Chain A
Amino acid sequence: MNVRKGLTIALLTLFAAASVFAAAEKEEPGRDTSSPELKTPTELLYWYAYSGVVQETNEYLTQTFNDTVGKEKGIHVTAEYQGAYNDLNQKLQAAFIGGTSPDVFVMEIGTTGMFARNGMITELDSRIERDNFDLSDFQDGLLGNCRVDDSVYGLPYMPSTAILFMNTTILEDAGLDADGPETWDELAMYCKTIKEKTGLYGLTLVSNLWFFEAFMLEAGTSVLSDDELSTNINSEAAFTVAKFWKDLKDAGYIRILSSADGSKMTADIMNQKSAMWFYSTAGITTFMGLAKANDFTMNTCFMPKLTHYGTSTGGSNLVISNKSSEQEKDAAWEFITWMTATGQTVYASSKTGYMPSRKSAIDAPEMQQLYAAMPQFKVAIDQMPYAQKRPMNPGYTEGGSIITSALDAVWIAGQDMYSVFSEAQQRIDRLLSE
């Protein structure tokens, strides 16, 4: 009997709660999809893929837009979180088929090409020309992933590059210069010295596509050919790259984590088992917090060079849907130009650690103050001239995962790199030419 009573109570509570929430639900205003009449604001739906402090910053900026320029020009933007970049891209594809696509969204820079060529996002050339909008203030390395087939499709928002992070407490214990290694030879020497002097790993490397793209640039080539129709993974440069890290690992100087285990890298850093690691500039704030909490000092430096300095860009662009009406597109253009303007760039960059996308933002007093207080941030800016765009061939989405698996096979499973890379090349080249 008690059981039944308990269940009845549980069910009653459940339905009571349900009706309360259902009532609350009704009061919430739905999104008006009918064409807006004059004077009612243009409603824009904005999808993004940021979490944590970046999410807060993004929501804050959207709200500020609504309260200022939006209010003045009759535009209201609703920002909605959709998960990580991959989740967002999948939802976008479903939404475009289902006819519920947002008007503005964030686009991981590497996928801009695919969405542009599939006609899902709007080219911005006509509006850039109409408004005499000055693109030259954006960092040159970032515009590469905004241009698809000679048209501009997005504006850089929350961009990043890869850099080298160092636990300088360990470096100093090992008697090494805390400014960090400049070349791969020096990096190898650093790793060897750290292992011999402290017993710790010199570096924890995640077998990751993005870092590999940077390594290829440093070896004087790139992961894909210039026309992006073939891959250079089966080349001398790729062998040099793969062998360099494999040798350091085999000597016990570094640890390599498989791409799937990438999140374990943080454990090595927090436990101070490893002195150096590669990561996005977007991690500077977080890692500085970790360093403070775990009582070590941290510095950043350029990705060391083999024959060249080089790093690949990351982060996102703001783009406009091609399905929206002309009025909505104009409103969306107002929104994305405001979001990427100098003032907002300074705010976002100082709040999140993402790089400022505009040159004028670097000169802003707030940024200069930040760089003086925390020179770790400045490295990303100084390294920017060496940054290259990411490949944009749609086949590279799958091709990239083939490279990641190949790196796992060579670095983690210890398979023969010549056969692994040669097979990967054939599969990737086929994908790129489709």
Chain B
Amino acid sequence: MKIPRRIVSNLGRTAVSAATFLVFFVPFWWMALTALKSKAETLKFPPAFWVSQPHWENFSVAFNAFPFLRFLGNSLITAGAILLCQVITVIPAAYAFARFSFRGKRLLFSLTLASVMIPPQLIFLPVFILMSRLGLINHYASLVLPSAASAFGIFMLSQTFRQVPEEILEAARLDKASELGIILRIMIPIARPTITALGLLTFISTWNDYFWPLVLTTNDTIRTLPLGVASLRLLESGISIPYQTVMAGNLMLIFPIIFIFIIAQKRIITAFTYMGEK
């Protein structure tokens, strides 16, 4: 008997979806599970995929191991300030690259794109020295300034701005709209899905950033949440890693991101769909 092609392709699709789901879901499941285990359970072999007695105290241990609220506040301030700075720098820059022709535009755009390719590890020492000379070590500015503009954001947004029909801009200029007015009243509303997606990506990458806060802070004043969570590894003086506490800390760390992602999921998908349509 021949199996209809439709059923085969449906089965295949389900299998691939299920495999993809597992690849993404299992690590999350594992993290949540480990956060509820006792230390003995985390070290047990073979490992258990279920906990009968959840150890909620892991969360309070993680919460009390470092100044959690202070670090959380620092993370919010840093991510919020970077977001604000990027709105101010990225939108005008993207507009200029997308809609104006000026001398050296190609070169400047290439340079902007090239900066995406420089790993932070390569430039952290000069940045650190610069920040120390400016007296900004352990000030929020040292965490915000290196990320105040985003080459990736400029690139992504200028692609969207390029798609706006020239006629609309000409009509606006005939009505004596200023360039700022064009940005505010035409460009931003049209590019809203892209801007939202960009904002979220910036927020997520800033929120998760470990490297810059690690190298640019020397005390708890401006240390961010990922540093605190990472420090949980050494809670037992390095003799063993308290995975249950580390995972409880991680869950608390990613909670805001999951929350924001759930409310904004649709917009992110829309933005990336637009980007692909050229």
Residues of chain A whose beta carbon lies under 8 Å from any beta carbon of chain B: 3, 6-7, 10-11, 14-15, 17-18, 20-22, 24-25, 28, 47, 50-54, 78, 80-84, 87, 91, 94-95, 97-100, 102, 263, 265-267, 270-271, 279, 282-283, 286-287, 293-294
Q: Which residues of chain B from 179 to 217 have any CB-CB distance to chain A below 8 Å in the complex?
A: 196, 214-215
Chain B, interface residues (CB within 8 Å), range = 35 or more
**Inter-subunit contact B236/A20 (CB<8 Å):** no
**Inter-subunit contact A51/B237 (CB<8 Å):** yes
The 0/1 profile, CB within 8 Å of A marked 1, for residues 218-239 of chain B is 1111000000000100111111
Contacts of A98 in B (CB 8 A): 128-129, 131-133, 137
Any A CB within 8 A of the CB of B44: yes
Q: Which 8 A-B pairs have the closest CB atoms?
A: A98-B132, A266-B240, A21-B73, A51-B234, A267-B43, A6-B263, A52-B237, A80-B219
B221 to chain A, nearest CB (A): 7
| C-alpha spacing A100/B125, complex, angstroms | 13
| C-alpha spacing A267/B74, complex, angstroms | 36
Contacts of B214 in A (CB 8 A): 83, 87
11 additional A-B pairs beyond A83-B231, A283-B239, A286-B237, beta carbons within 8 Å, are A3-B266, A17-B76, A51-B235, A51-B238, A83-B214, A84-B234, A95-B132, A98-B129, A266-B43, A270-B43, A271-B43
Any A CB within 8 A of the CB of B26: no
Contacts of A287 in B (CB 8 A): 239
Across the interface, name the chain B residue whose C-beta is closest to A280: B239
A91 touching B218 in the complex, CB below 8 Å, given contacts A21-B74, A51-B235, A282-B237? yes
Across the interface, name the chain B residue whose C-beta is closest to A102: B218
Contacts of A47 in B (CB 8 A): 218
**Inter-subunit contact B45/A267 (CB<8 Å):** yes
Any A CB within 8 A of the CB of B177: no
A86 to chain B, nearest CB (A): 11
List 5 contacting pairs A-B, 8 Å CB cutoff, sorted by A. A94-B125, A266-B239, A266-B240, A267-B45, A270-B39
| C-alpha spacing A271/B132, complex, angstroms | 49
| C-alpha spacing A80/B259, complex, angstroms | 33
**Inter-subunit contact B73/A20 (CB<8 Å):** yes
A18 touching B77 in the complex, CB below 8 Å, given contacts A3-B263, A97-B125, A270-B40? yes
**Inter-subunit contact A100/B266 (CB<8 Å):** no
Contacts of A17 in B (CB 8 A): 73, 76-77
B247 to chain A, nearest CB (A): 15
A315 to chain B, nearest CB (A): 11
Total cross-chain contacts (CB, 8 A): 115
| C-alpha spacing A28/B220, complex, angstroms | 12
Q: Which residues of chain B from 141 to 173 have any CB-CB distance to chain A below 8 Å in the complex?
A: none
**Inter-subunit contact B40/A100 (CB<8 Å):** no
Our pick among A21, A52, A99 for the contact of B236 (Cβ within 8 Å) is A52
Contacts of B241 in A (CB 8 A): 263
| C-alpha spacing A82/B223, complex, angstroms | 11
Any A CB within 8 A of the CB of B55: no
Interface centre among B128, B237, B260 (most CB of A within 10 A): B237
A294 touching B76 in the complex, CB below 8 Å, given contacts A10-B260, A51-B231, A83-B231? no
Across the interface, name the chain A residue whose C-beta is closest to B227: A83
B258 to chain A, nearest CB (A): 13
| C-alpha spacing A84/B239, complex, angstroms | 12
A175 to chain B, nearest CB (A): 27
Any A CB within 8 A of the CB of B111: no
| C-alpha spacing A99/B132, complex, angstroms | 7
Any A CB within 8 A of the CB of B264: yes
Contacts of A270 in B (CB 8 A): 39-40, 43
A11 to chain B, nearest CB (A): 8
| C-alpha spacing A27/B128, complex, angstroms | 25
| C-alpha spacing A25/B260, complex, angstroms | 26
Interface centre among A10, A15, A21, A91 (most CB of B within 10 A): A21
Any A CB within 8 A of the CB of B92: no
**Inter-subunit contact A80/B218 (CB<8 Å):** yes
Q: Which residues of chain B from 222 to 278 have any CB-CB distance to chain A below 8 Å in the complex?
A: 231, 234-241, 259-260, 263-264, 266-267
**Inter-subunit contact A18/B81 (CB<8 Å):** yes
| C-alpha spacing A286/B40, complex, angstroms | 14
| C-alpha spacing A98/B215, complex, angstroms | 12
Our pick among A24, A100, A266 for the contact of B218 (Cβ within 8 Å) is A100
Across the interface, name the chain A residue whose C-beta is closest to B232: A51
Contacts of B73 in A (CB 8 A): 17-18, 20-21, 24
| C-alpha spacing A198/B234, complex, angstroms | 33
| C-alpha spacing A11/B240, complex, angstroms | 39
Across the interface, name the chain A residue whose C-beta is closest to B196: A7
**Inter-subunit contact A286/B128 (CB<8 Å):** no
Across the interface, name the chain A residue whose C-beta is closest to B77: A18
Contacts of B133 in A (CB 8 A): 98-99
Contacts of A294 in B (CB 8 A): 40
B211 to chain A, nearest CB (A): 12
Contacts of B264 in A (CB 8 A): 3, 6-7
Contacts of B234 in A (CB 8 A): 51-52, 83-84
| C-alpha spacing A49/B201, complex, angstroms | 34
| C-alpha spacing A86/B235, complex, angstroms | 16
